[in-house]
Amino acid sequence: MAGGDEDDIPAVSGSPDASLTQDDSFTATSRAGLTYPWGDAAPGAGETIRIADGISWARIPMPGSLGHINSWLLDDVTADGGEGVAVVDTGVCLTICSDAWKALYAGALKEKRITRVIGTHLHPDHIGLAGWIAKKQDVQLWMTRGEMLTARMIVGDTSETVPDEALVQSRAAGWDDEQIEAQKNGGWGRFGLVTYPLPRSYRRIKDGDLLDMGAHQWRVVVGSGHSPEHACLWNERAGVLVSGDQVLPRISSNVSINITEPDADPLGEWLASIDKLIATVPGDVIVCPAHGEPFKGLHVRLMALRDEHRMRLYNLAEAIAKEPMRAVDSFPLLFNRPIGPEQLGMATGEALAHLQRLEVEGRVGREDRDGVWWYHGVA
């Protein structure tokens, strides 16, 4: 874990890409039907763009394939009635991100006070600097309980030795001896390298809560699948949804099984969350995602994500009905790019999530053959 002094932030990380953020999926996805009111514009260093009444947009650069995270600044009031902003998502604990915040403090936020930090979910690109900002500004961190407790468990795991549970799961998915050996040598506990120490106390938010920010109220809408208890924020009056990673315009969020809950059904939870968002939030809102640009077309996007996952499940079940396969054998049916060593772990987690969903639906069965899981059709 990064050090406790507020300026003790590392300049580089040994693994800053998707293995830490876990946001980007390897599955194909359609963006048809979306509109981008701001085009490809984005706020520069120290700048914000006003999105709607009550919300501004800052962009925090990051290393790795995603290149940035969007931070949403919600108009709030201070305890003495002054102007403030609530920060939603922060970037990882690296100087490239903390320098971007220092530029904001000297620029667009010069006359504002930070009132609270809200983490949509546990991944380091979202809460990597949450503890740093909360400490520096003397404010509370607001998160759902599922995200905060899971973050504490994962970030607190500082062991450098890959746990046996991870090696067993990799072998079960069909990894060969060379791949497992590389996993052993790759180390563990990387989340803590880019997450500033989280405060010991936090303010819990939960589904349906209404966050009162003076002239603006934001309703918490919780989804799951990408992470345990992901908080979206919906301002009904302004017609804005801060979607975090629950809805992204250009990529499909990673939905994986991992060793913390090896028997979970994250894809089932993801699909249920899509249906919940369609039923709860109007389709004409401005969607403010963690990555990419603000867009309109929420329901179109959600239905595309749902339908494409359903099609992949159908194709996978059809293939397994013809011939048993392991998780690694399913990659060509699920992903739109070759899976190399750097993507192997996340791709395996996604493949296992799809196969688990088929098991839960009773469409495939699983057989353990000497520690390797083979999936087969069911009569």
pLDDT digits (tens, 9 = 90+) for 131-172: 999 999 999 999 999 999 999 999 888 788 999 999 999 999
The residue type at 189: G
3-state helix, strand and coil shares in percent for the chain, rounded to the nearest 5:
35, 20, 45
- The answer to whether domain 25-377 has CATH 3.60.15.10 is yes
* Phi/psi at 210 (5° precision): -110, 110
Locate all alpha helices (DSSP H) within 129-240, ordered by sequence. 130-137, 145-155, 164-173, 177-185
Taking the chain (379 residues) in consecutive chunks of 10 residues, what is each chunk's mean pLDDT?
55 49 52 89 97 98 91 94 94 96 97 96 97 97 97 87 95 97 89 92 98 96 97 98 96 93 97 98 98 97 96 97 98 92 94 98 97 94
The predicted structure's pLDDT at residue 14: 44
Q: Give the tokens for residue 34.
A: 């979306």
Residue with tokens 């790019």: 337
Q: Where are the domains of the chain?
A: 25-377
